[in-house]
Amino acid sequence: MSRESQPNHDELRARIAALEARVARLEAERLTKPPTTERAAPPTPTLRAPSPGLGPRAPVTPPIKLRQRKRRQPEAAVDYERLVGLTVLGWVGVAAVVVAAAYFGQLGWARLGPGARTIVVYLLGAGLISAGAVLRHRVVTRYIALLWGAGTALTYLAGTLAYLRYDVISSPVAVAALLGSSALGQYLAWRLRDQVMATVALALAYAAPVLVGAPSPTPTAFFALLLALHTWGSWTEHRFGWRAARALSVAATTALVIGWYLDRGPGSATSFGIHIAVVWLLLAGPELLRVAASRDVGTLRAALLFAGGIVATLAILSRPDTARWFGLPAAGAWLLLGGSLAQRDINTGAWLARVGSLVLPIGVARWLVPGLGTGERAQELAYLAALPAAALLLFVVRRWTRVAEQGAAVAGALTIIGAFAIENLTTVAALLQWPLTVAPPLLLLVLGHSPVAWLAGLGIGALASGSWFVVVFAGPDAMALAVSSTALLAAFATTLGARRRSRLLTNASTVVFVLLLVMWTLHFVEQLIRPASDPLLASGATLLWNARFGAIALLVALTVAARRSLANDNKIERTALGVVALVGTYVAGLFELLDFVAPWSFGPRAVATSLYSLAFALAVSVAGFRTQNAALRWAALVAFGGIALKVAVHDLSQVDTPIRVLVSGVLGGVLLLVAWGYARSQRPAE
């Protein structure tokens, strides 16, 4: 290596010393410089224009904008002094001026007549309005609203005094004067864009015909005035968003229409129906136009449309002379309207179609109800067949109207009501007409879309099935037929609930089975306590071959089938249905035995029931061991304990010695046999 290529150590040492001196100087400056809280902003990169002729232009990166955090402005405190001084005291002053003008009109003047006094009040109102116009650009708007509101109220008061107190103008002129004052208030409110003032002026307009009275014998002119005011309220809502004015117009129009008919009567059927329909149509007009333009009206307004529509339609159908002829056309119109609008707004269309679904079965019933209770079987059959047909029609068009369940429920309820008017049917006729009675609830169960609809179908169906045979077919076998038919429906509902995994439906059907067993037991217990000389078997029935035993046997069979259709995780339902089947089997044989031994004396009857109960408990215990079911074994053990107590306390004191030997021996033998079963299987499978 040459001497020139070796590193110059002296030069390196000089550079390191210079760097150390510079660092020391910077550290000293940092320590002596006072601290600052301001943070220097990062430099903004400058944009350089691309050089021409040097290939494609590079993308220009915009300067980085720092996101500045907006400071939350503190909310302005409420100026309570200004609120009290301007608003509260101002409106109190307005009220005082109006009261003073009213007293002024009531004074007894010697030279100033009624007309002059009215003019003075008008001039006072005009003066306040003029003062507001002069001061409009000098004071706050709220004070101008006070002056103009007081002036409008005085002009309205002048018209009221002129008609009610002085009688210097006729009623049409008075209505025109009051409406003119209201129109003036509306104009001034529009100038100020004051919703409160506009709403008050609209309320004064609605009060005008009430104060003066409507001299027209027909409601047409009066309703036209109300609907014109409602149209104005609807326009102000559309133009300025004044919802209070629209709400007032709807409420006032509805109240005054109802008041008219309560005061003057409905009049002719045609006039009543047309006027009610037109009033509802014009009240709902803004929303209907909004939906026609494919704009949403909201759930609340759609529900109000439904409420108004159902009330108006039921008012028309409440009259016998209009219900029969207007019911079905009204239902068709509602369904057509709702189905058409549902294509643009499902929510509103469904609410309106829901009116038609409720009205259709009502219209059908009102059309055919004159044939009920007359004994004409063809007319009664037509009534029962028309209601399921109406419910089926609703389900057919549900894809278009979006509703059907409510109408089917109403059809089922009306079927039950019609059952109370049908009497003296034979057993065959009742069995043939029963499917028509339960058809609407069956449609709810099969075609319904929600658990609520399924629950309604089961409830209405159980009530319809039970009431049909009890009310229509009065006789000794009515309860048996009612229990059997309702058990069929409950078993069908349990199967549907299991397939749809609906715990609500399976729980409800289980409750129905329990109630059926209780009703059957109570009914036939009442029959068993009849005089012993008149048992059921003595009246012509055969042992184990009668309606009573057939009903409980069918109930037990359907309960077992329903239990088998449930999954194992439905433990509560399966347990309840198992108890129903077990208890039903026991009481079925017990009632037959009690009816058979009714002519015997008291002691032998008690022993017979004990022996039957002992045999039944033994059978349950054997079944428990064979199926390895601990619940059955426990039920048998409880039964054995109860039977032993009954024999010891009651039976042995009522019979002779030979029968005592028989009863106690049989009891002991059976109990030993059960104990032997437990001894063979020391730990039975659970």
Note the pLDDT tens digit of each residue in 440-499: 999 999 999 899 999 999 999 999 888 888 877 766 678 888 899 999 999 999 999 999
Six token digits for residue 400: 């278009």
On whether the CB atoms of residues 598 and 527 are closer than 8 A, the answer is no
Tell me how long the chain is. 686
On whether the CB atoms of residues 614 and 667 are closer than 8 A, the answer is yes
How much is the pLDDT for 192?
Answer: 84
On whether the CB atoms of residues 666 and 607 are closer than 8 A, the answer is no
Burial of 654 per CB tally in 10 Å (0-12, 13-18, 19+): middle
On whether the CB atoms of residues 359 and 331 are closer than 8 A, the answer is yes
CA 641/CA 531 separation, integer angstroms: 31
In the structure, what pLDDT confidence band is assigned to residue 267 with cuts at 50, 70 and 90? confident
Indicate left, alpha or beta for 65 from its phi (over 0: left) and psi (-120 to 50: alpha).
beta
Closest C-alpha among 498, 447, 488, 495 to residue 464 = 488
On whether the CB atoms of residues 606 and 654 are closer than 8 A, the answer is yes
CA 324/CA 317 separation, integer angstroms: 8
pLDDT over 50 at 170, yes or no:
yes
Q: Which letter, b or e, does each residue of 63-100 get, where b requires 16 or more Cβ atoms within 10 Å of its Cβ?
A: eeeeeeeeeeeeeeeeeeeeeeebeeebeeebeebbee
Q: How far is CA 11 from CA 3, 17, 22, 104, 521, in A?
A: 15, 10, 17, 115, 120
On whether the CB atoms of residues 227 and 209 are closer than 8 A, the answer is no
Helix (H, G, I), strand (E, B) or coil at 644: helix
H or E element that contains 549: helix 547-565
* Lowest mean pLDDT, pick from 83-97, 147-161, 573-587: 83-97
How much is the pLDDT for 58?
Answer: 46
Burial of 336 per CB tally in 10 Å (0-12, 13-18, 19+): middle
CA 530/CA 15 separation, integer angstroms: 129
Most confident among 12-26, 281-295, 653-667 (mean pLDDT):
281-295
Mean pLDDT score across all residues of the chain: 79
Q: How far is CA 89 from CA 81, 85, 235, in A?
A: 11, 5, 32
How much is the pLDDT for 50?
Answer: 46
CA 276/CA 274 separation, integer angstroms: 6
Matching residue, tokens 């249905």: 577
Closest C-alpha among 635, 638, 520 to residue 578 = 635
pLDDT over 70 at 87, yes or no:
no
Q: Which residue has the higher pLDDT, 158 or 655?
A: 158
CA 649/CA 642 separation, integer angstroms: 11
pLDDT over 90 at 189, yes or no:
no
Matching residue, tokens 């619940």: 631
Six token digits for residue 479: 């309860």
Helices (H), 425-531: 427-447, 451-467, 478-500, 503-528
On whether the CB atoms of residues 388 and 440 are closer than 8 A, the answer is yes
On whether the CB atoms of residues 664 and 652 are closer than 8 A, the answer is yes
pLDDT over 60 at 77, yes or no:
no
How much is the pLDDT for 65?
Answer: 47
CB count in 10 Å sphere of residue 359: 29
Q: What are phi and psi of 545, to 5 degrees?
A: -135, 70
pTM over 0.85: no
pLDDT over 50 at 290, yes or no:
yes
- The number of angstroms, rounded, from the C-alpha of 513 to the middle of its chain's C-alpha atoms is 28
Six token digits for residue 453: 């609809």
How much is the pLDDT for 5?
Answer: 45
Averaged pLDDT, 409-415: 92
* Lowest mean pLDDT, pick from 393-407, 428-442, 628-642: 628-642
**Segments of 559-680 assigned E as strands:** none
Quote the DSSP letter at residue 373. T
Q: What are phi and psi of 542, to 5 degrees?
A: -110, 145
Query: How many Cα atoms occupy the beta-carbon half-sphere of 192 within 13 Å?
Result: 26
H or E element that contains 70: none
* Lowest mean pLDDT, pick from 17-21, 97-101, 363-367, 605-609: 97-101
Angle between helices 657-680 and 602-627 (to 10 degrees): 10
On whether the CB atoms of residues 429 and 469 are closer than 8 A, the answer is no
On whether the CB atoms of residues 114 and 168 are closer than 8 A, the answer is yes
**309 Cβ contact partners less than 8 Å away, ≥ 6 residues apart:** 280, 284, 334, 352, 355
In the structure, what pLDDT confidence band is assigned to residue 629 with cuts at 50, 70 and 90? confident
Tens of pLDDT, residue by residue over 369-381, are 876 766 677 888 8
In the structure, what pLDDT confidence band is assigned to residue 95 with cuts at 50, 70 and 90? low
CA 483/CA 552 separation, integer angstroms: 8
- The number of angstroms, rounded, from the C-alpha of 375 to the middle of its chain's C-alpha atoms is 39
Burial of 514 per CB tally in 10 Å (0-12, 13-18, 19+): middle
Averaged pLDDT, 581-607: 83
CA 579/CA 635 separation, integer angstroms: 10
Radius of gyration, CA atoms only, the chain:
45
CA 532/CA 598 separation, integer angstroms: 6
In the structure, what pLDDT confidence band is assigned to residue 142 with cuts at 50, 70 and 90? confident
How much is the pLDDT for 66?
Answer: 46
Helix (H, G, I), strand (E, B) or coil at 75: coil
In the structure, what pLDDT confidence band is assigned to residue 685 with cuts at 50, 70 and 90? very low
Q: Which residues pair with 627 in a beta bridge?
A: none
How much is the pLDDT for 366?
Answer: 86
How much is the pLDDT for 496?
Answer: 94
pLDDT over 80 at 648, yes or no:
no
How much is the pLDDT for 78?
Answer: 52
Query: How many Cα atoms occupy the beta-carbon half-sphere of 347 within 13 Å?
Result: 15
Averaged pLDDT, 45-72: 46
pLDDT over 60 at 557, yes or no:
yes
* Lowest mean pLDDT, pick from 417-431, 438-452, 550-564: 417-431
Helices (H), 318-376: 320-342, 346-368
How much is the pLDDT for 279?
Answer: 93
Six token digits for residue 236: 């102000």
On whether the CB atoms of residues 580 and 513 are closer than 8 A, the answer is yes
Helix (H, G, I), strand (E, B) or coil at 509: helix
pLDDT over 60 at 188, yes or no:
yes
* Lowest mean pLDDT, pick from 210-219, 338-347, 433-442, 582-591: 210-219
pLDDT over 60 at 181, yes or no:
yes
Q: Which residue has the higher pLDDT, 204 or 661?
A: 204
CA 437/CA 539 separation, integer angstroms: 31
In the structure, what pLDDT confidence band is assigned to residue 67 with cuts at 50, 70 and 90? very low
In the structure, what pLDDT confidence band is assigned to residue 407 with cuts at 50, 70 and 90? very high
Helix (H, G, I), strand (E, B) or coil at 47: coil
Most confident among 6-10, 261-265, 373-377 (mean pLDDT):
261-265
Averaged pLDDT, 19-37: 68
How much is the pLDDT for 540?
Answer: 56
Tens of pLDDT, residue by residue over 30-57, are 665 555 444 444 554 444 444 444 344 4
